[in-house]
Amino acid sequence: MVDVAKPGERIPIASDHAGFELKERLRLALAEMGYEVEDIGTHSTASTDYPDYAHPLAQEVSEGQAARGVLLCGTGLGMSYVANRYPGVRAAVAWNPDVAALARKHNDANVLVLPARFVSDEDALAILQAWLTTPFEGGRHQGRVAKIERDESEADASGSTT
């Protein structure tokens, strides 16, 4: 596997209450790997609403302020729903390293979403490492990824609005 990790790169990370404890472990691991970590929150296990944390992270990635980011919630689903509403964001829920690697290789996933209630700390670190170090293959996958983004004129031409 080609190492595409970029120590010094700023990576925002965010979670709701269900992902807080794992977020803290991954935040420290990212810092130990040499990344500049931006902790968007939450900052405790007190009940919170996942969109409050997914929106700011996804906006940063969408606007190019960060190349990629990490989100965590209980299942990963809520965070992924929010993040994938932003242009240019490809948030992938990954529950093992193989899924994380394929999300990078084939889909150029720029937001990793972890289901904190369903992965161990050890597995989460392995998933994060696979996602950080796997490059996008491009080639035949480039055109497929390009089809994810649609502007209004494309939507009008197809007869669909979404």
Bind-site residues for D-ribulose 5-phosphate: 16-17, 74-78, 107, 117, 140, 144
Any catalytic annotation for residue 55?
no
Helix axes 121-133, 97-107, angle to 10 degrees: 20
Choose the catalytic residue: 43, 55, 106, 141: 106
Retrieve residue 72's tokens. Answer: 């965590």
Any catalytic annotation for residue 106?
yes
Choose the catalytic residue: 43, 55, 73, 141: 73
Q: What angle (nearest 5°) sits at the alpha carbon of residue 134, between those of residues 102 and 67?
A: 100
Task: Give the three-class secondary structure for 161.
Answer: coil
Do 82 and 58 contact (CB within 8 A), yes or no? yes
The catalytic site residues sit at 73, 106
